[in-house]
Structure 1
Amino acid sequence: MDVLRPALININGRIYRKNAVKEERYEDEEEEAFSYSGPDRDQRMDEPCDADNIEQTDKGFRCAIEVPSVLYKYIIGKKGETRRRLEAETKTTISIPKPGVEGPIVITGSQKAAVASAVTRVEVLIESFRRKQPFTHFLSFALNHPQIQEGFKRFKEDVLDHCSQDMGVDASIFQNQAKLHLTIGTLALLNEQEVMRASELLTQCQDFIRDITEGKPLALEVKGLEYMNDDPSMVDVLYAKVCVQDGSDKLQQIADRLVECFVAAALMVKEWDRVKLHATVMNTLFRNDPSVEDKGGAGRPSMKDREAFDARNILERFKEFNFGKCQLDSVQLSQRFSSDCTGYYSSAGRATFI
């Protein structure tokens, strides 16, 4: 079925097919084979590529592609094999900055079609390996308001008082109360330019956000618990439910529209039809690494080294636990593995509801 339905990659509105082939792996680098879902390889030199950025020079044609430096190695390949193969097959020269130096990859050739073909193949490689990078930022609704933090503190104390004898339940798997949040979606922003671009896009989203909120903060209530798997005796993550007090779906509308905008800008990969709005309160990933953040809607966390806990007693006693109410007035572009002066994640951008 992988052959009949190969993975597709969308680059600037054009669809490319990723072939299902065995990957070559060496050290910490990887190399894959890709093909464009259009003409065969021997026809690519004449394919209608995006040529707006290809400029004519005295020696032929040239195109510069902005690529984060952490992705250079995937274009170079082991001992330069990938770059040499691309250059040989497209009859172009591919110049890549030194490791760690931010700058464009420059492709030159005597024929415009050759440069266009090389650009296409480099972009497909970049897009594929970009998806394998760990996320660096995420859009979040902060729930670290004083009342919610106090409610969470009571919840943690009560659970440990009544349920600490249950399998896997201990203080290490509770969320940091200063970092309580709702994750909207995750982003892999690989240099400062990409962080700035994401921040600017979030600012642009203020218009539709304020239309939805009518220029007012949203009154939220955090109440009740839920889990995602089928067996309450073997739970990895326990969530708190969050709802708008007036019963509207305004929070859901904002989250879904934000994902649409960031996906359209190729800054985020859409994983679900709708954002799953829930706040992590207990997560077994915290057991070995308290700094691990919940990935929310960006995919399943690794099951490696997980130790599930028995949540049956917790769910029976605290199913409708009320963590409190708060006024939500912004969405943030939060930086992973960071803290500001309040203990919440450092912000790289913000859009306000007011």
Structure 2
Amino acid sequence: MTDILIPSLCWIDGRCYRVNDSNTRDVTAFQEHDLYENEHNDDGIVDEGDEDDFEIITVDDSRFSTCLHVSQHYIGSIIGKKGATKSRIERDTRTDIKIPKIGQTGDITIFGSNVSNIKAARRRINIIVTSSRMKQRSTHFISLPMNNSDITRNFELFKETVLRDCSSKGLDESLFIRPQKLHLTLGVMCLMDNEERLLASKLLTEAKEKVVKPLLGNCPSLRIRLRGLSYMNDDPSAIDVLYGCVEEENGPPGIIQRLADGLVDHFYKAGYMDREYGRDNVKLHVTLINSKYRSRTSTSVNDDVTGSKRQARLTFDGSEILNKYADYDFGVTELKEIHLSQRHSMGNDGYYQPTCVISCDI
């Protein structure tokens, strides 16, 4: 009942939409909850204070148009079976939508007799793209590097002593993250082509002015301490992820949390990032040990659906580690940069390949 009375909201392209069923990502589950425009505004005049950041041009006395980039990966969802989805959008918004054919490059172009119809069609397309994007595996993430020499040295010592002194079931060396990859994860996203990567880079650059500077203006050299251990699931004897906790060393309490939440909110409202498990706050964590890193020599199991072999994810017993090293201090790093990092791709320094980096210098 609570979900019906207080439904989930989803931000797409600067607008807020109501999700009727928060357990599904079906496009039809979205209903527009427009905070910026009068629903009956069809006279072609853009409302004062409209926050759309795209160009609508005049084609002739009776037609307007706009272009938008959509990755080829999502074109099929916009067209729909036998063109049904595209036709429905055109009918509902009284527009004409031109989509590049398979193998062709170029943007989608929307034609209409007034600005409001064009904007409505564009929002419908953005809903489809965002809904499809959230179903894909993430390709990039926003990260704060936590791999300075002090922390990596202490992490190596932690790893050495744990492997020597803790006889934990299911634990082996392959589960530990590489020291050069230590990072604080803020949020993940799926970027399917270079244009989307450029747009996400632009969002991160904008976030420096809109999020980072307002928060760090009075704390220009924020230092972050990595201290203490915690884990993702409920049973310390069957852990998938053991992580380090972070705290402000010389900044106002909670500033790291506000920075993380602000950055995720910035990307969420642009339709590029979802909230993890529907949380309002980012779960701050620096992964130290992860069962998915387990060596490929581990036992594989049959997939019941495909019949193929897949890697079994075996938990490890972290009880002894937590008892002995619950307050382990890995050291301090200064927050200098925020990265848009690419998953599964490493730079020359051993850290994740950056797509965009912003400096935290104020």
What TM-score does the superposition give when structure 1 sets the normalisation length?
0.77
C-alpha distance 159-7 of structure 1, shift in aligned 2 (>3 A): same
Residue in 1 aligned with 2:12?
Answer: 11
| Shift of residue 115, structure 1, vs aligned partner | 5.3
SS in 2 for 1:346: strand
CA–CA distance in 1 between the matches of 2:152 and 2:30?
A: 51
Task: Name the aligned partner's letter for residue 319 of structure 1.
Answer: A
| Shift of residue 279, structure 1, vs aligned partner | 0.6
Deviations, residues 21-63 of structure 1 (Å, cap 9, x unaligned): 999xxxxxx9753564489xxxxxx954796537454785544
CA–CA distance in 1 between the matches of 2:72 and 2:338?
A: 29
Q: 2:281 aligns with which of 262, 274, 282?
A: 274
Percentage of matched positions with identical amino acids: 37
Deviations, residues 140-163 of structure 1 (Å, cap 9, x unaligned): 110111221121112112222122
Deviations, residues 191-248 of structure 1 (Å, cap 9, x unaligned): 3333233323433444563562657433332222111322211111101122222363
- Say whether the 8 Å CA contact 1:18–1:33 is kept in structure 2: no
CA–CA distance in 1 between the matches of 2:110 and 2:103?
A: 19
- Say whether the 8 Å CA contact 1:69–1:103 is kept in structure 2: no
Residue in 2 aligned with 1:297?
Answer: none
Residue in 2 aligned with 1:26?
Answer: none
CA–CA distance in 1 between the matches of 2:258 and 2:239?
A: 29
Q: 1:317 aligns with which of 319, 324, 328?
A: 324
Which aligned runs of 4 or more in structure 1 are off by greater than 6 angstroms? 2-5, 110-114
Q: 1:239 aligns with which of 228, 243, 246?
A: 243
| Shift of residue 262, structure 1, vs aligned partner | 2.9
C-alpha distance 79-3 of structure 1, shift in aligned 2 (>3 A): farther
CA–CA distance in 1 between the matches of 2:22 and 2:187?
A: 30
1:33 and 2:17 matched: no
1:342 and 2:346 matched: no
Q: 2:174 aligns with which of 159, 163, 172?
A: 172
1:251 and 2:246 matched: no
| Shift of residue 101, structure 1, vs aligned partner | 4.6
CA–CA distance in 2 between the matches of 1:50 and 1:167?
A: 69
CA–CA distance in 2 between the matches of 1:313 and 1:227?
A: 13
Structure 1 stretches lacking a partner, 5+ long: 24-29, 40-45, 291-303
SS in 1 for 2:346: coil
1:122 and 2:125 matched: yes
1:307 and 2:310 matched: no
- Say whether the 8 Å CA contact 2:228–2:244 is kept in structure 1: yes
SS in 2 for 1:337: strand
Q: 1:199 aligns with which of 198, 201, 210?
A: 201
Greater shift in the superposed pair: 167-176 or 77-86: 77-86
Structure 2 stretches lacking a partner, 5+ long: 47-55, 298-310
Aligned length: 328
CA–CA distance in 1 between the matches of 2:21 and 2:326?
A: 45
What TM-score does the superposition give when structure 2 sets the normalisation length?
0.75
- Say whether the 8 Å CA contact 1:148–1:325 is kept in structure 2: yes
Deviations, residues 63-111 of structure 1 (Å, cap 9, x unaligned): 4333222211111224444334545666654321134655321234578
- Say whether the 8 Å CA contact 2:12–2:270 is kept in structure 1: no
C-alpha distance 102-182 of structure 1, shift in aligned 2 (>3 A): farther
CA–CA distance in 2 between the matches of 1:335 and 1:134?
A: 12
Task: Name the aligned partner's letter for residue 221 of structure 2.
Answer: P
- Say whether the 8 Å CA contact 2:183–2:286 is kept in structure 1: yes
Residue in 2 aligned with 1:104?
Answer: 107
- Say whether the 8 Å CA contact 1:68–1:102 is kept in structure 2: no
CA–CA distance in 2 between the matches of 1:172 and 1:120?
A: 46
1:328 and 2:321 matched: no
